[in-house]
Amino acid sequence: MEEPPLGYPTRLLEPGVTYAKATEDIASIPLRRIRSGWWWLAFATALFLLSFLMIAVSWLFIRGVGVWGINIPVAWGFAIVNFVWWIGIGHAGTLISAILLLLAQPWRNSINRLSEAMTIFAVLCAAMFPLLHLGRPWVFYFLLPYPDTMGLWPQFRSPLVWDAFAVGTYFTVSLLYWYIGLVPDFATLRDRETSPGMQRFYGIFALGWRGSAVHWERHQTAYRLLAGLATPLVLSVHSVVSLDFAVGLLPGWHSTIFPPYFVAGAIFSGFAMVLTLMLPLRSIFKLHDLITPHHLNNMACVMFVSGLMVGYGYFMETLMGLTSADPFEYANTIARLWGSWAPIFWAVILCNVLIPQVLWSRRVRTNEWMLFWVSIVINLGMWLERVMIVVCSLAKDFIPSSWGSYWPTAWDWATLIGSGGLFLTLFLLFIRLAPAIAISDVKELIAEKHHAP
């Protein structure tokens, strides 16, 4: 079979995409209010899953964190696993839209909006967990630096304080960046909207955008500035999250490789999640013209390369564990390789290292179904990796007498499933109310194509 042409820049848009068609294709999704039943079905499912979270969190607040399976020594369980997993997922968005923008990679233009939205919602899901996992969540504000009458401040040597700052900054910058990008598109929707209520709704968010050259000039300045701000955050957030572990003494945590290894893992899982969400949308909304095989290939490549880095991380960690002459580190490594944690470790290797090797083939990289399946496997593998890091290291540390085990309870699962529900709910609301692909950015591509020499 003939390989589909992937050459830049022609194949970023399928032939025949005009300004009007792009606007119509994209804007019609929110404007026609998605009359098809599938959205309502999906939304109902998402709400159902969200109800798990509501009930689980209510029960958690009533009874305490004891409803989860955590114990001493495994004092962190699903809550922290989910936190790290979601925050990892929240990395692709900024990477795609900010870094690729600065690197002048126009292929990002048709996928940035979706991935940015995913970032925002994933970070929201992630940020929820550190608060839920507190023993006394009602005093969460002790984590923030505020002028306390007793002169008390957070303890700035603690990685958890760094976390609060890193995640808070990342969320703020990502939200602003996403919104700045949305302003021209909200104006488009405002102009094309027929019902007065929704016109007002979009009008408020469009901030009086008229598309003048001054507007565009300022918009581009702000957009690029924010991209510049967001870029280092992509590296910093997951580095800081990794320090939660690397600063600790525990065998399996106390490792200098963690920051780069976590960043690579974040990009890996982030791209996997973008693919997991985008591939269904692409076929449902028939966006093949805008999201071309070229995009799939590029994303798969990024995912693949970051996956290789993650694999390198696993290799180095194991190698260091086996050769460090630290008996605790060694025992932890052995427990992963052949001991009680072997099933989790080898499942991680299978999902994150072995199965992604199929991405060597360009056919797989451009095949919707194969890519979708691989991305699901990677999402699962990355979640298991966090279980391995958080739970397995805690369960068996220095003194054998205090070794324990960990079994998640129904409330642990309900919270995890519920966080997925929250993510889906927000995501479905987003594609229902805002353009899932950046109209202005796509038009920019068309313009470039038209004016190409």
Partner 1 sequence: MNRQEYNGWRSLEELADSPEFREQLHREFSVPPGDEGISGVSRRDFLRLLGGSFALAGLAGLGGCVRQPQQNIVPYIDQPERVIPGKALYYATILELAGFARGVVVETHEARPTKVEGNVLHPASLGATTVFEQAALLDLYNPVRSSAVLKEGEADTWPTFLGELQAALAKLPAGGAGLHILTGNVTSPTFGAQWQALLTRYPAAQWHQYEPLHHDAEFEGSNQAFGKFLQTQHQFDKARIIVSLGADFLFAMPGSVRYARDFISGRNIREGGKTMSRLYVLESAPTITGASADDRTPLRPSAILEHGVALAQQLGISVEGAHPGEAAQKWAATVAADLHSANGPTLIVAGCGLPPELHALAHAMNAALGNIGSSVTYSDPVEVAPVNQTQSLRDLATAIESGNVSVLLMLGGDWAHTAPADFEMDALIRRVPLSVHLGMYRNRTAYAARWHIPQAHPLEAWSDARAYDGTVSLAQPLIEPLFGGRTPHELIDCVAQFPGRHAHEILRAYWQQAGLDEEAWRRALHDGVIPNTAAAMQTPTLHPPPPVTLQPDAPESPELVFMHDYGIWDGRFSENSWLQELPRPINRLSWENALLVSPATAAKSKLATGDVVEIKTHDGRTLRGAVMIQPGMAEAVYAVTLGGGSRLEPGLWFKEITPAGAPIQRDQIAQNVGIDAYPVRTSAEPWFCKISLQRTGERHELAHTQQHHLVNSRDLVRIENFSDLSKLRVNEEVASHDLYNLTRTETDGIAWGMAIDLTRCIGCNACVLACQSENNIPPVGRSEVLKGREMHWIRIDSYYFGAPEKPLIAFQPMPCMHCETAPCEIVCPVAATLHDHEGLNVQVYNRCIGTRYCSNNCPYKVRRFNFFNYPKPEKKEPLLLAQNPNVTVRTRGVMEKCTYCVQRITATRIRAELDKRPIKDGEVVPACAQACPTEAIVFGNLKIKSRVAALKQTPLNYPLLEEANTHPRTTYLMRITNPKT
Q: Which residues bind partner 1 (CB under 8 A)?
A: 63-66, 69-76, 130, 133-137, 139-140, 142-143, 152-155, 157-161, 164, 244, 247-250, 327-328, 331, 394, 397-405
CA dist., res. 145 & res. 155, Å (int): 9
Rg (Cα) of the chain, in Å, rounded?
23
DSSP states along 351-413? IIIIGGGGGGSHHHHH-HHHHHHHHHHHHHHHHHHHHIIIIIHHHS-S-GGG-------HHHH
Query: Taking Cα atoms as reference points, which of 54, 92, 70, 248 lies closest to residue 158?
Result: 248
Nearer to partner 1, 294 or 396 (CB): 396
Q: Which is nearer to partner 1, 280 or 339 (CB)?
A: 339
CB of 133 to partner 1, least distance (A): 7
Rounded distance, CA 234 to CA 170, Å? 8
**d(C-alpha 297, C-alpha 11), whole Å:** 12
Q: How far is the CB of 63 from partner 1 (least distance, A)?
A: 6
Q: Which is nearer to partner 1, 5 or 66 (CB)?
A: 66
CB of 162 to partner 1, least distance (A): 9
Nearer to partner 1 among residue 129 and residue 430 (C-beta): 129
Closer CB to partner 1, 64 or 208, in the complex: 64
What does residue 164 show for φ and ψ, rounded to 5 degrees?
-55, -45
Confirm if 1 and 293 have CB atoms less than 8 A apart.
Answer: no
Please, are residues 417 and 383 in contact by the beta-carbon 8 Å criterion? no
Distances (CA, A) of 206 to 20, 184, 221, 248, 263: 20, 7, 17, 46, 34
Of 234 and 395, nearer to partner 1 (C-beta) is 395
Under 8 Å CB-to-CB from 397, ≥6 apart: which residues? 73, 250, 251, 328, 403
Q: How far is the CB of 417 from partner 1 (least distance, A)?
A: 22
Decide if 28 contacts 285 (C-beta within 8 A).
Answer: no
Nearer to partner 1, 208 or 327 (CB): 327
- Whichever of 32 and 136 has its CB closer to partner 1, that residue is 136
Q: How far is the CB of 401 from partner 1 (least distance, A)?
A: 4
CB of 247 to partner 1, least distance (A): 7
Q: What is the DSSP letter of 75?
A: -
Residue 323 CB, nearest distance to partner 1 (Å)?
A: 17
Q: Among residues 164 and 442, whose Cβ is nearest to partner 1? A: 164
CB of 253 to partner 1, least distance (A): 8
Q: CB of 192: closest distance to partner 1 in angstroms?
A: 48
Distance CA 413, CA 99 (A): 35
Q: How far is CA 224 from the centre of its chain?
A: 21
Residue 111 or 335 having the CB closest to partner 1: 335
Mention every residue, 6+ apart, whose C-beta is less than 8 A from residue 453: none
CB of 88 to partner 1, least distance (A): 20
Which contiguous run of DSSP H or E holds residue 196? helix 196-206
Q: 286 Cβ partners below 8 Å, 6+ apart?
A: none
Residue with tokens 């690197």: 103
Instruction: Tell me whether residue 152 or residue 322 sits nearer to partner 1 (CB atom).
Output: 152
Minimum distance from residue 18 beta carbon to partner 1 (Å): 54
